[in-house]
Amino acid sequence: MNITLLAANEITEALQTEVKALFEQLNADIVQQPLETLPLDNEHLVLAICRMDGQLAGMASMATYKVISGYKGMVEDVVVAGEFRGKGIGRALMEKLLREAQRLQLTEVLLFSGHHREAAIKLYTSLGFNLKQSGFYTLKIN
C-alpha cells in the first residue's frame, strides 16, 4: 500500500482515466471535474491516493477554506475500489488527510456521509468524528 498526496505535475491522462473509473464506484451520476482543473497545491485542495500492485486502489480529498468561524477542511470523494475494500485503505487515506489537517493547523474537519454507508460511518467515528446535530441543505447551481 502506497499512500501519497497528488501534485498537479503528476496528473496524466492515464491517471485521469483511473480516477474516473474509481469515482464511478462512489457515484456514477456525478459529472467529474478534470483533475487538471483542480487546485492541487496541498493548501486549498489535498488529494490523497493509494496505489496497490500498480493500480489506483483508493482516493480521498479535502478542500480547505477560511471563514470567520475558523480554518476548516471538508473531506470529499472518499472511495476505495471494490476489490481492495477491507484492507485498511480507507483508514490510511483518512489518516493521511488528517495529518495534513494538523500540518495546515485547521481548526475543524467536516465530512458528510449517507446514513446507509455503515462501514464508512464506522471508520469516521473510529477516527474521532462525531455526528453533528444540524440540517444539511444543498442547492444545485447549473
Pairing type for strands 55-67 and 45-52 reads: antiparallel
What pLDDT was estimated at residue 34?
87
Across the 142 residues of the chain, what is the mean pLDDT of every consecutive 10-residue run?
92 93 86 87 90 95 96 96 95 97 96 89 95 84 82
What pLDDT was estimated at residue 65?
95
What pLDDT was estimated at residue 63?
96
Residue 56's closest CA among 25, 101, 34, 27?
Answer: 25
What pLDDT was estimated at residue 93?
98
What pLDDT was estimated at residue 104?
95
Are 73 and 101 in contact, with CB atoms under 8 Å apart? yes
Q: Report d(CA 106, CA 103) in Å as an integer.
A: 8
